[in-house]
A = this chain, B = another copy of it.
């Protein structure tokens, strides 16, 4: 099961860097967060439960490292950045649904975008590396009531 952690450790050490306790804690927090997309501040808060004097800057630096490694990806929403663990290989094909009322973010897996991507490349001459699709609306719970 910690094949997972071991793999990340290998990737980190391949860059002559270390999977320190702080970095592991950040991973644990992200993993425990499930499908939640946490802000740096929230990750920091959670991390402090296990590692009381971890600094916010360390969290940011850690997230940056993990993003470089492809372990984590960032999602900019409403002026702040939220982070998620990339659990599968097919991270390319998952999109976000953002509730305009409660702010909750859920995910959706989908593979219909390849076609669109190819059309865009053909028509514009742009070489596409990645995409990012977000839907805004109201989740099941917030349906009907716009304020809450």
By a beta-carbon cutoff of 8 Å, the part of chain A in contact with chain B is 76-77, 79, 81, 97, 99-100, 106, 108, 110, 112-113, 115-117, 119-120, 123-140, 143
Contact = CB atoms under 8 A, between A and B. Distances in A.
A92 to B, nearest CB: 11
How many copies the complex holds: the figure is 2
B126 A106 contact: yes
Contacts of A125: 139-140
A45 to B, nearest CB: 21
A108 B125 CA distance: 12
Contacts of A77: 76
Contact of A137 (B116, B129, B138): B129
Contacts of A133: 131-134
